Amino acid sequence: NTTAQNEFELGAKAGVNYSGFNVDGSSAYTDGFGYHLGIMGEYELSNNFSIQPEIIFIQKTGSRGTPSELSGGLITSDLTYIEIPLNGKYYFAKGFAVEFGPQLDILVNEKTTVDFYNSNQMDDSVDIETNGIQFSINLGISYKVLEKYLIQFRYSHGLSDVYKDLEAKNSVFLFSVGYFFL
């Protein structure tokens, strides 16, 4: 066993994501593209294991059908979050790591619309309330190039519902590039 020097690095990252809602274990209706950007740190605990906390500003979108009492419609949300993941990273080969960990999602902006296929239904009679705090779990892989650059692919799956009274969990694929500047 070799001892790590317990280095801490600080950097920034940005990328694109493909998000939607997961209802009853499968993707629901439409998904969409968004972007994300943020800051990240990495604290080396050993030669093969690190902790990577992040603060990310991210756009997510998704749709799901209206509940049975309002059948014949589609709920669409454009959501903006501040995500705070805390991932463990296991380096299994030079520069390559598997990432896994929990995440706190804080809703900072949302636009939710309800469109009905039946024109007899009134849109303004519908009140869809969004949860302000959600929890997710992450799984991903990353590659560190020349100790400073990061290429990352991650899947984030919501553990709590987007809406207060409806089942719909965020489901997000992220592709990021980053740079450790400190």
Segment-wise mean pLDDT, segments of 10 residues, the chain, 182 residues = 69 95 69 93 94 96 75 84 97 96 96 76 66 96 94 95 87 96 88
The pLDDT of residue 1: 43
Q: What is the pLDDT of residue 3?
A: 45
- Phi and psi at 70, nearest 5°, equal -125, 40
Q: In Å, how far from its chain's centre is CA 95?
A: 23
How many other β-carbons are positioned within 10 Å of the β-carbon of residue 169?
A: 22
- In this prediction, residue 54 carries a pLDDT of 97
Separation CA 167–CA 69 (nearest Å): 14
Alpha-carbon distance 171 to 13, whole Å?
20
First to last CA, the chain: 27
DSSP state of 124: G
What percent of the chain is helix, strand and coil (3-state, nearest 5)? 5, 70, 25
Q: What is the reported pTM?
A: 0.84
